[in-house]
Structures are given as structure tokens and as C-alpha cells.
A and B are shown apart, each in its own frame.
Chain A
Amino acid sequence: MERERARRLIELARKGNLRAMGRLLTLLEKPSQESMWILEEMASQAGNAHVIGVTGIPGAGKSTLVSKLIGGLRRQGYKVAVIAIDPSSPITQGALMGDRLRMQEHATDPGVFIRSLSTRGLKGGLSLAALAMIEAFDAFGFDKIILETVGVGQAEVDIMHAAHTILVVTMPGAGDDIQALKAGVMEIGDIYVLNKSDKPEAQKTYEYLKFALEKGDIGEQEEGWTPRLVRVSAIMGQGIEDLVNAVEDHYNYVRETGRFGRSIESRRLLLVKLLAERILYNILEKAAKEVARTPSQTDSGRIPIAPLSLALVEETCRQASTTIKGKMLLDL
């Protein structure tokens, strides 16, 4: 019955029904038997969209930049989808998602679909939902999928690897050359965007970034692609054409070198790994209850942390091989 519903939703979505698309995305947010079936359907129809990751420090102007990028890509005739990720409260799990408000000028454009996603205080959960949504937007026929996320934490660096093209957005005064040297998200850009470049201190930051790029401190030099630095003022609408050109150049590069397909393969492998991680985590949670039930303080009073961990691994493996046989432990 659920599969029938999913099938009908997919049929409607294919015809361009926005509500059906919205609902399918909701179903994909949470792993379940139904969502897995949808995901497989979506992935089978996907593989054409260019995925653009946009990351950078909070306040760098990512959402405003994305809005301008949408406009630039629309002028090229592309259909554009956006997945805007905002943090959720670790305490209440609630979220106030405000990225969308910078992009509302595109709300009534039939060639644009914007969807907000909260991090849900869970690393794997975020990535899994975002990756599933990429497959869906790809299947819905969007040419460009922009994935916008705050560039803090390993999960967000991981998720960026699902993108064909990575934009790292920074702004004047966001730190000196030492900040640029630091490990993390600054390392992974294909295109570096200095936003707010209408500000007076922009020239200095531009020089720092240019120097860091030339020295190879940031950005990974690849055969056939040298990371670019683009100066933009999203709010003033300056430099947008340069940015769109850089994105298109990178797109041509990934297409011509076969990286396009390889990137899709690796994003699907990441999806499979994250799903396995989720299933394993569910079993681990169950097994932990078993292990906790057996009090195992040794006679000497020593707390056996390492042996308990091993016992938990053992119990997890046991449950994984015996109790789940063919059953998905997603709905736990």
C-alpha cells in the first residue's frame, strides 16, 4: 500500500506536480522501507544533474550568493534546485531555517525548487537526507543542484564530496593568511569566492587568498584544473557573471575528464556507507541495552571499559548476523 502511494507520487512528480515533489522529499528525509524504495527509484532515473556544493563560514553571504547564482544559471536556461541546510538545536531539535528568505525572489519561478533541510543534530542523518534529495532532484530533471551548507564539521566536509563542483565562500576580514592555512573546508574548493568584495578591506583579503592559492596552501591542484578565485559582491550583484562562467568552466572540465560519472559513483557509495552506518547504529543501540544488563564490574573494582566495548561489538555482530537476516532495521 505504501509502495503504491510512492509509485503514484513519483508518477505525479514526473509530470511536474510540485506537491508530489515536496512530499517525496519529505519521505526521503527519514530512512524507512518506503523511503528506500523511493530512493532506489529516484537513483535509477538520476545521473544527469550537475551538483554544486556551496560552503563557507556563517555570515559569509552564502544564501545571498546562491540566490544570485540561481539567477545566473537560470539565464543560461538551466533548471535549478537548491538544498539549503541550516543547523537545528541540539537541545530541542527544533530549527529556524532562514536561508530560503534570501532566495524568495525565485519562489515563483517554475524552473527553481528550493528546499530547506535541518541538521537534526545528527551527522549521518543530515548527509543521508541530503544525498537522497540530490538523487530525487536529479530524477525530477533539474540540471543544476545547489547544496548549501555551513562549512563547519567533518560531516559537512564529507557531504561536499557528493558535489561535482565545490564553491568555498569567504569574506573580507574573515581571518588572515593563517586562517587560510588551517585544515578543513578551506582546502576543498574548486572555486573560491570572495564575497562582499565591495567592502574596503576586500583587497587585502583578496591578496591573502590569491597568495595562498598560488602557493597551494588552499585548494587542490588537479590535472586540468587550477582552483579559481572569484571576487563577488552578491548583494550588489557584482561578479556574478564571472562566477557563473567559472562554474560552467568547471562543469565542462568534470564532463570532459570523466570525473562527472565518477563523482556520482562515489556519492552513491557514500550513500550506501551512510545507510549501513545507520543500520549498524540501530543494532548497536539495541545491543547496548543487552550489554548494559549484564553488570560486569570486576572483583578488583576496575571498570572494564575496553572489554565492555569489545563485548558490545561482539553482541552487535551477533545480532546483525542472526536477528536482522533480510530485515531492514531502519524503522527502529
Chain B
Amino acid sequence: MSSPQSTRRIKVLVAKLGIDGHDRGAKVIARALKDAGFEVVYTGIRQSPEQVALAAIQEDVDVIGVSILSGAHMHHMEKLMEKLREYGAEDIPVVLGGTIPIPDIEPLKRMGIREVFLPGASLRYIIDVVRRLAEEKRAREAETLL
């Protein structure tokens, strides 16, 4: 007999932003996070920053994971962070994965992106980072209203 769920599962939004149909990576990540015991909401391809921000808020996720392979990451991530601020959700940690040139990593982090995963990042590492960010967010929740 399975016992009732007593803990709140870590919940992650996996999203693709912009005109970019390459969703294999996003699906591999979504699957790995699911297998790590997380609840994963996958919103599919060709999403706008506003769609992703609102989905994250309605689903009350702990972490947002974005995959971009189109090269438009600087533009889209800036817009996403803007939207999150607009809706008062800038406390939700955002991570990014994809074909990101190394010189872009610093500016992305200055934008508030918590971690950038490059091709070759191990699933284990990604899961660990997501878990750590989620736990940090939960810890902050205890002190604030939202």
C-alpha cells in the first residue's frame, strides 16, 4: 500500500522560448527531472516570455528551466526576467540550457539567470542544481508571504 504523500514535491517548469523547434534536449531534461521524483510541467515549443512567466505563476513552480538552441537567448531571457518582475515573481529561480556561447554566460548571470548549462552538462549535475535552487526558494518562502 502506498503511503500518503506527506511532502510537497519539487515542481519545475520546462519551457522553450521563441521560434525554436529543437525540443529533444528539453524533453530529455523533463524526463530526467521526472525520474528524479520532481513534478515537471512541460509547456512545449514556441512559447513567449509572457506565456512562460504566467504558466510558472499559475503552476506555482519552484524553478523555471528554459531551453534555447536558436541563438536568441539574450533577447528572450531578458524579456522573461522582465515579465517575471512585472508579475512579482522574480524570486522564482531561472536556469537556462542550450547552445550558449561562453562569453554570454556572464551577462546572462547578471540578468539574474541562476545557472547556464552548456552542451555536455550531466543530468546528475542539472538535477542537483535544480534541487538546490528549489530548496533555497522553499526556505525563503517560510519567511515571506509568497
Contact = CB atoms under 8 A, between A and B. Distances in A.
Nearest to A120: B5
B42 A108 contact: no
B10 to A, nearest CB: 9
Contacts of B146: 9, 19-20, 23
Nearest to B10: A94
Interface residues of B, number: 36
A5 interface: yes
Given A18-B58, A19-B89, A22-B58, A95 B39 contact: yes
A81 to B, nearest CB: 10
Interface in A1-46: 5, 8-9, 12, 18-23, 25-26, 29-30
A282 B3 CA distance: 9
A124 interface: yes
A186 B33 CA distance: 34
A90 interface: yes
Given A18-B87, A19-B57, A100-B41, A281 B35 contact: no
Given A22-B60, A30-B8, A93-B5, A88 B39 contact: yes
A121 interface: yes
Contacts of A305: none
Given A18-B58, A104-B43, A332 B37 contact: no
Contacts of B8: 26, 29-30
A311 interface: no
Interface stretch (B44-52, B64-72, B106-114, B115-123): B44-52
Interface in A76-109: 88-90, 92-98, 100-101, 104, 107-108
Contacts of B57: 18-19, 22
A95 B35 CA distance: 8
B76 to A, nearest CB: 16
Nearest to B51: A107
Contacts of B5: 30, 93, 120-122, 125
B30 A115 contact: no
Contacts of A21: 58
A113 interface: yes
Most chain A CB inside 10 Å of its own CB: which residue of B5, B9, B59, B146 = B5
A92 B33 CA distance: 10
B102 interface: no
A122 B89 contact: no
Contacts of B33: 94
Interface string A120-154: 11101100000000000000000000000000000
Given A19-B57, A116-B41, A94 B9 contact: yes
B87 A19 contact: yes
B21 interface: no
B71 to A, nearest CB: 23
Given A25-B60, A95-B34, A95-B40, A100 B55 contact: yes
A97 B51 contact: no
Interface in B87-106: 87-89
A121 B59 contact: no
Contacts of A331: 6
A108 B51 contact: yes
Given A96-B42, A108-B51, A113 B36 contact: no
Nearest to A4: B145
Contacts of A26: 8, 60
A103 to B, nearest CB: 9
Nearest to A284: B1
8 contacts: A20-B146, A22-B60, A30-B6, A92-B36, A94-B39, A94-B40, A108-B51, A118-B39
Interface of A: 5, 8-9, 12, 18-23, 25-26, 29-30, 88-90, 92-98, 100-101, 104, 107-108, 113-116, 118, 120-122, 124-125, 278, 281-282, 285, 331-332
Q: 6 tightest A-B contacts by CB?
A: A101-B44, A22-B60, A94-B34, A107-B51, A96-B34, A94-B37
Given A5-B145, A22-B60, 15 more contacts: A8-B145, A18-B58, A22-B57, A22-B59, A30-B8, A94-B33, A94-B34, A96-B40, A104-B51, A104-B55, A107-B58, A108-B54, A115-B59, A116-B59, A118-B39
